[in-house]
């Protein structure tokens, strides 16, 4: 990917390790049986740092959720021309998304990240303490825990049902691989155990990661990166007080927002308007893909001009709202489609940023009845998003009205950031303002009802064939 801020090296050690992983990862053998390829195991702190800096593995997030959400639509001809069965079927929420095809990167890539993180964690446990390298050891421990938690969280948004405290103890979550050993078959943990592991990893990472801000090393998390991810996790669990508290912890350290009026930072005329090294990004990640080849999911690539922005979403922006110029573009009178993102590339941003934290804190405030705090955060955000001198500022209203405002601005600010699918899942679970998704193709209407079983994606078929202990998700 083009977002490599600390490019991974090509040392023989890492090449051999990756070679062993490719066979294992593509067949999910690390969830079934040990691959025959001998792996050269890293043993030094420098080795571990190189593994975690490998941006061909880390900093990539799944895309099937975004492809299934309601931020965009396709014409019938564009849908028929889809280059992969999975995107063709995901668009209409088909029961079988994969058409029998294995090697699905939305599953494989996060578990490859888990494996790498576990290699580091196991390696650190085996090392003797050295007072001269305690700081580096701590940072590596925290980084590996953060990256494992990020991978588990992304997997849970697709392959596990939405968190519900009343049933999480029995609902099926994801397999939790907590060591680099690959000779033990995996089973699905409960949803409760899945989220407990994610939260525990992140809280532990907080104690190891360095303070301050990431600066230009956006692929290396710091303490507030872990707190930002915790805020996202708690929001998905509908634990709004803790989501608000974690977001506030980040914003007390760094609340810097880009001013979209500043062309030196955000060039609204560019295909990639936002600079990669921008002050809002806390951890850099992008949707799966590689700029030198066909995007993994062409329907949500900025280079795919027949992927059109949802009309209701587009009409929700005011004419003075600069986000419509920063996020989208239009050619030859056709509908608007997606521009580049905070990755400064064709691949949408899936990382962590200050604007998301402001919106999480605002939602937590509104749900706690603190309309003033919620609206203050919204006004702080939008004052940097509208054309200078035109933003009228929201007035403080009831907590319910403030919450409606937060939901609207969250949809507009965080479109194509890999968050809408999770938002639909959690908001529909609440039973108020539920949303039915609709696609119309060549006269046929497809719908995804609120709380449908199809909000949980099927596990890829090769994973099931290699490991009979993993149970498939039920779909309509």
Nearest to 140 by CA among 67, 42, 229, 29: 42
What is the mean pLDDT of the segment spanning 296-321?
80
| Phi/psi-derived region of residue 145, left when phi > 0, alpha when psi is between -120 and 50, beta in every other case | alpha
**Is residue 32 domain-resident?**
yes
**Is residue 111 domain-resident?**
yes
In this prediction, what percent of the chain has a pLDDT beyond 70? 88
Q: How confident is the model at residue 291 (pLDDT cuts 50, 70, 90)?
A: very low
Nearest to 338 by CA among 261, 418, 404: 418
Which position has the higher pLDDT, 446 or 305?
446
Domain CATH code at residue 64: 1.25.40.390
In degrees and rounded to multiples of 5, residue 278 shows phi and psi of -105, 160
Which position has the higher pLDDT, 23 or 274?
274
DSSP letters, 141-155, are HHHHHHHHHHHHHHH
Q: How many domains does the chain have?
A: 1
pLDDT of amino acid 15: 34
DSSP letters, 254-268, are ------TT-TTTB-T
In 291-418, the DSSP E strands lie at 307-309, 328-329, 337-338, 352-353
DSSP letters, 279-303, are TTEEE--EES--TTS--SSGGG-TT
**Is residue 346 domain-resident?**
no
Q: What is the extent of the structural domain holding 78? A: 12-261+351-466
Q: Beta strands 172-175 and 188-190: pairing type?
A: antiparallel
pLDDT of amino acid 434: 93
CB 71 within 8 A of CB 151: no
Which position has the higher pLDDT, 435 or 340?
435
Position 21 pLDDT exceeds 90: no
**Is residue 330 domain-resident?**
no
Nearest to 363 by CA among 411, 397, 410, 317: 410
pLDDT digits 0-9 by tens, 90-101: 999 999 999 999
Q: How confident is the model at residue 83 (pLDDT cuts 50, 70, 90)?
A: confident
Find where tokens 């990755």 sit.
Answer: 343
pLDDT of amino acid 19: 34
In this prediction, what percent of the chain has a pLDDT beyond 90? 76
**Is residue 278 domain-resident?**
no
Nearest to 339 by CA among 273, 257, 383: 273
**Is residue 152 domain-resident?**
yes
CB 473 within 8 A of CB 38: no
CB 183 within 8 A of CB 34: yes
Rg for the chain, CA atoms, rounded: 22
Contacts of 419 (CB under 8 A, 6+ apart): 232, 356
Of 26-40, 389-403, 437-451, 453-467, give the lowest mean pLDDT range: 26-40
Q: Terminal CA-to-CA distance of the chain, rounded, Å?
A: 36
Q: How confident is the model at residue 18 (pLDDT cuts 50, 70, 90)?
A: very low
Mean pLDDT of the chain, nearest integer:
88
What is the mean pLDDT of the segment spanning 221-228?
98
Q: How confident is the model at residue 35 (pLDDT cuts 50, 70, 90)?
A: very low
Query: Cα–Cα distance between 374 and 358 in angstroms, integer?
Result: 9
pLDDT digits 0-9 by tens, 340-359: 789 998 889 999 999 999 99
Nearest to 201 by CA among 149, 137, 125, 143: 149
pLDDT of amino acid 40: 65
**Is residue 161 domain-resident?**
yes
**Is residue 375 domain-resident?**
yes
pLDDT digits 0-9 by tens, 102-157: 999 999 999 999 999 999 999 999 997 788 999 999 999 999 999 999 999 999 99
Position 9 pLDDT exceeds 50: no
Position 33 pLDDT exceeds 50: no
| pTM, two decimal places | 0.92
Position 293 pLDDT exceeds 80: no
Position 13 pLDDT exceeds 50: no
């Amino acid at each position: 990917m083009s977002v490599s801020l600390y490019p991974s090296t090509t040392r023989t050690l890492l090449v051999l390790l990756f070679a062993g992983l490719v066979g294992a990862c593509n067949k999910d053998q690390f969830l079934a049986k040990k691959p025959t390829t001998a792996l050269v195991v890293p043993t030094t702190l420098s080795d571990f740092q190189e593994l975690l800096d490998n941006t061909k593995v880390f900093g990539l997030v799944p895309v099937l959720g975004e492809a299934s959400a309601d931020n965009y639509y396709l014409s019938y001809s564009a849908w028929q021309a889809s280059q992969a069965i999975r995107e063709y079927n995901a668009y209409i929420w088909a029961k079988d998304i994969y058409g029998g095809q294995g090697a699905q990167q939305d599953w494989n890539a996060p578990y490859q990240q888990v494996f790498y993180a576990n290699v580091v964690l196991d390696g650190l446990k085996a090392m003797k303490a050295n007072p001269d390298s305690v700081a580096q050891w701590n940072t590596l421990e925290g980084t590996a825990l953060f990256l494992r938690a990020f991978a588990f969280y992304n997997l849970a948004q697709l392959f596990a049902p939405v968190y519900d405290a009343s049933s999480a103890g029995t609902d099926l979550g994801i397999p939790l691989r907590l060591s680099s050993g690959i000779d033990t078959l995996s089973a699905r943990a409960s949803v409760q155990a899945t989220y407990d592991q994610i939260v525990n990893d992140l809280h532990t990472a907080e104690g190891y990661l360095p303070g301050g801000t990431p600066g230009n090393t956006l692929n290396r998390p710091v303490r507030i990166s872990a707190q930002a991810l915790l805020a996202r996790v708690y929001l998905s669990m509908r634990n709004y007080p803790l989501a608000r508290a974690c977001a506030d912890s980040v914003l007390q350290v760094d609340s810097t927002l880009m001013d979209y009026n500043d062309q030196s930072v955000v060039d609204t005329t560019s295909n990639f308007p936002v600079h990669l090294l921008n002050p809002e990004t806390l951890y850099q990640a992008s949707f799966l893909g590689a700029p030198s080849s066909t995007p993994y999911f062409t329907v949500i690539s900025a280079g795919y001009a027949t992927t059109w922005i949802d009309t209701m979403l587009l009409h929700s922006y005011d004419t003075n709202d600069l986000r419509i110029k920063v996020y989208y573009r239009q050619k030859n009178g056709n509908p608007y489609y997606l521009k580049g993102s905070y990755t400064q590339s064709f691949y949408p941003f899936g990382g962590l940023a200050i604007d998301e934290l402001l919106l999480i804190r605002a939602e937590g405030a509104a749900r706690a009845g603190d309309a003033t705090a919620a609206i203050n955060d919204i006004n702080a955000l939008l004052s940097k998003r509208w054309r200078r001198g035109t933003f009228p500022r929201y007035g403080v209203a009831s907590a319910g009205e403030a919450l409606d405002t937060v939901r609207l601005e969250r949809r507009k600010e965080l479109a194509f950031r890999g968050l809408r699918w999770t938002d639909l899942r959690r908001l529909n679970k609440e039973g108020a303002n539920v949303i039915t998704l609709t696609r119309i193709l060549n006269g046929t209407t497809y719908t995804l009802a609120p709380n449908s079983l199809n909000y949980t994606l099927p596990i890829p078929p090769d994973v099931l064939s290699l490991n009979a202990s993993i149970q498939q998700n039920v779909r309509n």
